[in-house]
Every structure is written in structure tokens, then in C-alpha cells.
Amino acid sequence: MWLIICLAIILIVKIVSGWQRPLKFPPGPCGLPILGNILDVKRLVNETKFYSHAWCRLANIYGPIVGLKLGIAEPLIIVSGRDAVIEMMNRPEFDGRPDGFLHRHRTGGVRRGVIFTDGDVWRDQRRFVLRTLKEFGFGRIAMEDIILKDAVSLTSIIESLSKSGPITNLHNITSIAVLNSLWTLVAGSRFDLDKENPKLMEILSIVNDLIRNSNVTGGILTHLPFLRHIMPGFTGFTVLNQRLAQTSQFFWSEITRHKQTKTQGEFKDFIDVYLAEMDTKQSNSVISYFDEEQLISIVKDLFTAGVETTNNTIGFIITYLVVKQDVQRKVHEEIERVLGKEALPRIAYKNQLPYLNATIAEVSRLANVGPTSIPHRAMMDTTLLGYEIKKNYTLLANFRSVHMDEKHWGDPREFRPERFINDKGEYVEDPWVITFGLGRRKCLGEILARNSVFLFTACLLQKFHFVLSPNHPDLILDGVDGFTIAPPNISIIAIKRT
């Protein structure tokens, strides 16, 4: 009896002590024992409809550094405002990635890949990925030609579809075209935009579902991971396992195909080079992070990152322009003046298209496809703006708070590309737009993403005038929440420009 009482007292003390905030812990809502701030965040998201809006609401109440406790996971620190975001993103002690249940489960129980790893594994894999992709034309003229080929194919498909009336699946069509550029480098093959590819569409749909049904906090499986044993259906664990198995099988089959067709000394793509690196390490009996499971995880990371944010950005550009017809008209006039109707857009023309660049920048700022950084992890005990940040705390940089800062932008909620045009009519980048992040964890695909968005957008607007289909309901431009923000589903009419 006394033993039970003592254990109960110890449990109560542990719960209460875990609930109380340390003296220098960042300010935030008090929360509840065990649950912490899960209900607080849920209420705010229900009110604002977006996690990123909830973070901005908390920053308005508590300041640039907000501390949250979500279940039994390590505390989550929301970092808002440009000064705080820049400091956090540029300090190496915050370069880690979370090491929770979900971050391991997504790659077979071990942290693998380049997105959710850190330390030696991340450094070795990232260095290899960048070096190898550059060797195959990443960021060069060869890459530009590949992107343009897909952009031209996309315009042909849209022209064909437009003859049948409004287009309702533009997001799916552009996703394959956007993916093709990277997939050519990674797997040495291309997907034919003119032909049905049920397997690819299934994988793209699964990846989209995974992103739409997750958020940067990790969700219930990160906050209270033990619930997967009690309520696997309710927590989404059952469906998650099915989706992870399907995507893994898709990438395993691609690796297997490469192993069966590879030729000694001949490297057609990233996968071939990685397989050769694995063989070299193994033959030299060197302890290595290069293995098939790691390769699968990297390819999966590249596949997801290569299509998601770029495709969403292009989708948002079209969405904004069907609403802001005056802006679309100005872009049309500029493209016609510089390129005419037949010359293909090129990166070399970029400086001659300031209003197009300004429009892309304004959509990127206002749409906030990636409203926060991918979660970071403190690698050691430290402080941030005077607050104590313990080792393994998770940190999120709130990019939306920077992109919507009234003191800097003046009218941040207004869609106004002119804010990026100077008195001479030139496009001027604003360092307050941090779409690709900062510091060592900055997006490694930034060059490809920038070039893809520019070339695809230029090609589409050179050929088409986009309008909403008749009787379309009022369009809400906020988009659809998830790990990233997707453009709203719309029905558009693509009118060929003559």
C-alpha cells in the first residue's frame, strides 16, 4: 500500500514539475499537465485556420521568443521577427534536427537522408548530393535546357486541355513537369507528360497527402507517441505506415532497376554515382554512412522537396494572377516587349524582366508556401535573446512574421509587386524575403527552384491569359494548410495569347 502511495506521489511530483516553466524558459501559455499546450495550439489553429497564423498570434502576445510544451516531446520554441530569426538560423548550435519518434519512423527507425539529419551524417550526405548533382548539370545551362523542355511540353498540354473547357487539375499537371527536371539528374529518366502514368500519379498523391495531413510540430505522433499503440487508427499511424510503405516501394524499385542495368565505370545519374560510392566504401572496409537505406531516404527527400514548394509557388502565382488581372496584364506586356511570342525565356533575360521578377517575389512573400523553417534542434545548452534553450529543444523560425511585418512592408497584406521595383524601373531583391531560409541549413535546391519558377512562369504567361471559370465562388487566396502551404483548388480557363 505504502509503495503504491509513494509511486503515486512521485508521479504527481514529476507531472507538476514537468508542467511548471523554468525561470528562464521563454514566455507562452501555461498549458496543462502532460498535454502541455496541445489544446492551446489546437484552439489557435481552429481560430486562425493555419499553424503559421497561430505562431504570429502567439508572437503578438508573448514576443519574438515563445516557448511551448506539446505533450511529452521536447519543448517547441517559436522564433519570430527578422532579428531573432536571423540570429537563430545563423548560429551553428541550432543546426540540428529533431530526433523524435516520427523523424526516425519515416526512414525505417533510423534518421536518414538530408532533410531530417544533422552532424556527420548530414554533412557527408549533403556534400555528396551537392557535388554529384552539380556534376550532372545542377544550376548550369544543361539544367536550364531540361527545365525549358518540360515548360514547353506543359504549355502544349495546357493548350490541349483548354479546348475542353475549364482546367481543374492544373496542380497535378504542373507537378510532373516540375519533378522531371530534378528526376532527370537523380534517376536519369523522364516522365512523359503526354502519357498516363498511374504509378507516378499515385506516389505524387500519397506525397501530397502526407504533406497536407502533417504540420511542422510533428502532430500527435510526436507529442504523445505512445498513443500509436492504443489508437493506431485515430492517431493516423495505420494510414501513415501504408503511405510510407507505398512510397518506399516506389523508390526501392528505382534503385533495383539501376543495380540491374548499371555498367562498370558508366554513371548516368545521381543514383549510379551513389551506388558506386557505396561499393568503394565497402571494398575499402571503411566505416561509412553510405548504404541502400540511406540512398532510398535521400532520393525520397529530393523527390519530395524537388516538387512540393516549387509546384506550390507556381500554383500560387497563377492563382494570384487570375484574381489580379491588372498585374497579369503588366507581366504580359513586359514579356511581349522583351521576348515577343516565340523566343523561349532564358535566365539570361531575367534582368530584362523586372516586373515578372517582382511578381514572383511578391507571391513568394505573401503566399508563404514555407511559412516556417523546417524544425531545428538545439545541439547544446545555450541562450537566445536572454532565454534559456536547453539541448534538444526544437526551434521553428517563423518566416511569415518577417514577410508580414508592417513596420518594414507598410501594407503587407496588399499584393503589390511594385514594392520590389526601384525608381529606375529595376527589380531589387529585399533581404526580408527569406523563402529559402538562412545559414547552413538553407535549402540546397534554391538555384533549381528559382530557375524553375522563373522559367515555368515566363513560359506559361508568354502563351496564356489565365482567368477564373464563370460562376467560380469567391477565391480565398490563403491556400491549404499542411507541412507547407498549397494553393487553393481552382477552376481556370487558359486563353491562348495570339
**Which of 433, 482, 157 is closest to 309 using CA atoms?**
482
Amino acid at 353: L
CB 361 within 8 A of CB 417: yes
Torsion region of 251: left, alpha or beta (phi above 0 gives left; psi -120 to 50 gives alpha): alpha
Q: Is 443 annotated to bind ligand?
A: yes
**b vs e for 377-414, b when ≥16 Cβ sit within 10 Å of the residue's Cβ?**
bbbeeeebeebebeebbbbbbbbbbbbbbeeebeebee
Report CA-CA distances (Å) from 407 to 54, 61, 403, 404: 20, 17, 11, 9
Residue type, 133: L
Query: By the 8 A CB rule, do 444 and 129 touch?
Result: yes
Q: Angle at the Cα of 202 (from 143 to 210), degrees rounded to 5? A: 85
The type of residue at 389 is: I
CB 181 within 8 A of CB 455: no
Q: Which residues are annotated as a binding site for heme?
A: 443
Q: Which residues are annotated as a binding site?
A: 443
